[in-house]
Homo-oligomer: A and B are copies of this chain.
Amino acid sequence: MTNPTEPTQTQPKLARTLTRDLGQLEGQMVKLQGFVHARRDLGGVQFVVLRDKTGLAQCVGSHLSLPLPESSVEILGTVKAHKKAPGGYEVQVESMKVLSAATQASPLEIPKMEWNVNPETMLDYRYVSLRGLRERAALKVQGEIVYAFHTYLRSQGFTEISTPKIVSAGAEGGANLFKLDYFGEQAYLAQSPQLYKQIMVGVFERVYEVAPVYRAEEHATSRHLNEYLSLDVEMGFIDDEDDVMELETGFLSFAMERLGESCAAEFELLGASIPKVPQRIPRITLMDARALVTEKFGHQVGGKDLDPEAERLLCQHYAETEGSDFVFVTKYPRAARPFYTHADHQEDGSLNPDLTRGFDLLFRGIEITSGGQRIHDHAMLMESIDAYKMNREAMSGYSEVFKYGMPPHGGFAIGAERLTAKLLGIANVRYARAFPRDRNRLTP
């Protein structure tokens, strides 16, 4: 029963248009919604740059009362081609409604923020600094990587699992654990889902998990976080660690292709390039890698692993000689790997007491993955627990399942923030996490 003499509404029910779609709507009336990214009042004419999740749109009108930046607004207007506007179009405003007014000026000028300008301030005001185009681009890219992880692994027959983060003991042996009171019992935050993903191989054969993990490391570096998002994989019925490396190569190829489709604008904004993943990522044993950086670059490598400089040089070598941003470092010595890592075989078929089937993946100068084949034989696991001078009793919650026919298996874990940071050239991994936790930061 509509009454034809009723006044027409000033804001007709129009579906929302996203700024990225303006180019297809020239001459048409559109409804935009978003945030006041920037504004300028030239007296007779006002400009508003509206920001929505897909980009920016220049809007121009007259007699507009401009709210503070970051206010949420709804704009009705007509799309016109305009060479100087971002994207080549602007919206001539018919009306602007303030949906939610900012009540004070933002502590950071969102359009003018730059990486590494006042980094602590950027983190203190993370709840607004994340609205910056570069900041949110990093998190969007990370979201795409995670979704590619889901999609690819499911296509390979993996089942997603959810394992406890409150645990009674640490999977890696006990150092660097956050302690927790669990109804009067001592508990810890899980450093990794290692034990649980291995158990789940006995259930679903191929499993993965995307979840936070915790490291109570005291030191503050540009590559560590105390809470980070771990992309974890574990697969059963493998021949050896090659199967694991092949799976990871497949995932990375798939993910980089997806990023090319969905995040080209974000990479361009950040001046970063999407790496090509070779069909076979170069592989080098740790021993050969140490020799290579000494011989080619004169760098003496300390410790039993690669130090950060050696990682950088090794990656430089493979970028120069094979054009690869990735390299697998294989056959880690036992002393540099956790107790559950499977020993490598010697030429005569017997187990090598010194070398393992553990590997790292380096990318653009830094380790982004640890992985390997795990011990599946109960007797071998017991020997390893003894050799690492660990307590059989304390590890029984872990070791018990290996009495029940665990198949040969292996897996890997990728730190989502570290991969994102290296992909985008972000110097500090904290900027690849929405609300990072570090030694001095528990808020926001």
A positions within 8 Å CB-CB of B: 16, 33, 35-36, 52-53, 67-68, 70-72, 74, 99-104, 106, 127-128, 130-131, 136, 139-140, 142-143, 146-147, 150, 154, 157, 159-168, 178-183, 185, 187, 189, 196, 199-200, 202-206, 210-212, 214, 216, 218, 226-227, 229, 236-237, 376-379, 397, 400-401, 403-408, 416, 433-435, 437, 439-440, 442-444
Name, among A162, A378, A406, the residue most crowded by chain B CB atoms within 10 Å (CB to CB).
Answer: A162
Tell me whether A407 and B99 are in contact (CB under 8 A): yes
Residues of B within 8 Å of A106, CB to CB, are 404
Contacts of A52 in B (CB 8 A): 205
Find A200's partner among B70, B130, B182, B212 (CB 8 Å cutoff): B130
B237 touching A202, Cβ below 8 Å:
no
Q: Is the CB of A35 within 8 A of B128?
A: no
Residues of B within 8 A of A142 (CB): 162
Expressed in whole angstroms, the Cα–Cα distance for A39 and B272 within the complex equals 58
Contact B434 A130 (CB under 8 A): no
Which residues of chain B are near A102, meaning CB under 8 Å? 403-405
Closest B residue by C-beta to A212: B165
A237's partner among B99, B127, B182 (CB-CB below 8 A) is: B99
Taken together as a complex, chains A and B put the C-alpha atoms of A425 and B49 apart, in Å, by: 53
Q: Which of B74, B101, B147, B180 contacts A179 (CB 8 A)?
A: B180
Complex-state Cα separation, A93 to B140, whole angstroms? 52
Q: List the B side residues contacting A196 at CB < 8 Å.
A: 434-435
From known contacts A405-B68, A437-B166, infer whether A143 and B161 are also in contact, taking CB-CB under 8 Å: yes
The smallest beta-carbon distance between A407 and chain B, in angstroms, is 4
A35 lies within 8 A of B178 (CB): no
Q: Contact check: which of B185, B216, B406 meets A442 at CB < 8 Å?
A: B185
Residue in B closest to A71 when the chains form the complex, CB atoms: B405
Complex: chain B residue closest to A199, CB-CB? B127
| A102 nearest in chain B by CB position | B405
Do A406 and B166 form a contact, CB below 8 Å, given A196-B434, A203-B139, A211-B212? no
Contact present for B180 and A180 (CB under 8 Å): yes
| Option from B104, B147, B187 in Cβ contact (under 8 Å) with A403 | B104
| 8 further contact pairs, Cβ within 8 A, besides A104-B404, A139-B159, A139-B204 | A71-B405, A106-B404, A142-B162, A164-B227, A166-B227, A179-B180, A183-B216, A211-B211
Contact residues in B for A185 (Cβ distance below 8 Å): 442
Write the chain B residue with the least CB distance to A136: B203
Docked CA distance A33–B130 (Å): 48
Q: Is the CB of B140 within 8 A of A100?
A: no
Chain B neighbourhood of A202, CB < 8 A? 35, 70, 127-128, 130-131
A19 CB → nearest B CB, Å: 12
Given contacts A164-B435, A187-B442, A435-B164, contact A159 B140 (CB under 8 A): yes
